[in-house]
Amino acid sequence: MRSVYWENDSLKMIDQRRLPSALEIVTYHEPRAVAGAIRDMVVRGAPAIGAAAAFGLALAAGGNAFSSRDELLRGLKEAAGVLRAARPTAVNLGWALDRMLARASAAQGSVPELAQAVLAEAQGIADEDVQINKRMAEIGAALIDDGDTVIHHCNTGALATVDWGTALGVIHTACEQGKHVHVLVDETRPRLQGARLTAWELEQYHIPYEIISDNMAGHFLQTGQVQKVFFGADRVAANGDLANKIGTYMLALAACDNDVPVHAVVPTSTVDLSIQDGSQIPIEERSQDEVLGLAFQGEPIAPAGARARNPAFDITPAHLITSIVTEKGVVSPPFEIHLREALSR
């Protein structure tokens, strides 16, 4: 099952807030509700929110009785503005919306024909995502050896994409090739994408894993129990600095200090060459309730009145990254040269 798909003139998505307790599908009929779903993390993961936003524009195009082409294009731009504002860090969101708007402006014909072209483009983005992930997984699986234990951060699997995933897709494909891989799953506080979502996916694929709290990663790396670190990214700058789920930076630092290779797996739609380095990537700050709202043995984890900070992403500098796996090949340092080369292939 895809995490984001089109059915009966509506957008359907797995509600990722409910997993692992329940596998529930939610249905969307208009773009503002899709923007809300992205903000509330019903759907999450850079490529998945890009695809959801693209289908959000298809809903905008099909759902309104536009009387002219110009009116439709204006409606799409307005809806794109609302969707774009939903989350700031993952570049895939803006990338998908820009691609949709360009397709709409280039399309000729009647209003229904335009709406049809917009839907076809959204479907194209979703289908391509799956193909690209499968290609990246084949390429990246060569980096995994039989018997490896790897640390994985956040959720980068089928749920974070339309299907198959980025870093978790690489691990999944390596296992399908018959390699024995053990995954140490960072729980990924505060939203617990690792413990809730990655562990759920690994259960479905029958891949052996153990959940660790994020602050245990350094210990496992230092004691030689881990051969590789894998994660995805929400935006990669031209020099290879990348934004990914909060905690990635500390993980990469600890891996580097212990000479453990660090591999980022990203489709080229996640690379933003307009940004020179990581300092220019906007970091989303989410509600403190996500940090304070967790329970410990049924009790609040902090005293009443406690305040918290909640940056959702951090920047891992390029010098801590061994390779960036894309659908166009494995990119090695110096990234400021090799990323551009890969993108132009």
* Binding-site ranges for ligand MRU (CB under 6 A): 44-47, 90, 154, 156, 160-161, 166, 193, 231-234, 244-245, 312
Cα distances (angstroms) measured from residue 222 to each of 157, 254, 264 = 27, 8, 20
Q: How far is the CB of 14 from ligand MRU (least distance, A)?
A: 13
Distance between CA atoms of 252 and 319, rounded to whole angstroms?
Answer: 10
Exposure string over 245-258, b if 16+ CB within 10 A, otherwise e = bbbbbbbbbbbbee
Nearer to ligand MRU, 103 or 245 (CB): 245
Contact 241, 271 (CB under 8 A): no
Nearer to ligand MRU, 166 or 326 (CB): 166
Q: How far is the CB of 212 from ligand MRU (least distance, A)?
A: 17
Q: How far is the CB of 267 from ligand MRU (least distance, A)?
A: 8
Q: How far is the CB of 223 from ligand MRU (least distance, A)?
A: 25
Q: How far is the CB of 220 from ligand MRU (least distance, A)?
A: 19
> Could you tell me where the beta strands, DSSP code E, fall in the chain?
4-7, 10-14, 25-28, 149-152, 182-186, 209-212, 228-231, 235-237, 242-245, 262-265, 271-272, 295-296, 299-300, 313-316, 323-326, 329-331
Contact 34, 63 (CB under 8 A): no
Among residues 163, 214, 234, 272, the one annotated as catalytic is 234
Nearer to ligand MRU, 188 or 239 (CB): 188
In the complex, residue closest to ligand MRU by CB: 232
Nearer to ligand MRU, 160 or 217 (CB): 160
- 10 Å Cβ neighbour count for 295? 8
How big is the chain by its Cα radius of gyration, in Å? Answer: 20
Nearer to ligand MRU, 48 or 101 (CB): 48
- Of 279, 208, 218, the residue nearest 254 (C-alpha): 218
User: What angle, 0 to 180 degrees and rounded to 10, lies between the N-to-C axes of helices 69-84 and 31-39?
Assistant: 10
To the query of whether residue 186 is one of the catalytic residues in this protein, the response is: no
- Which residues participate in catalysis according to the annotation? 234
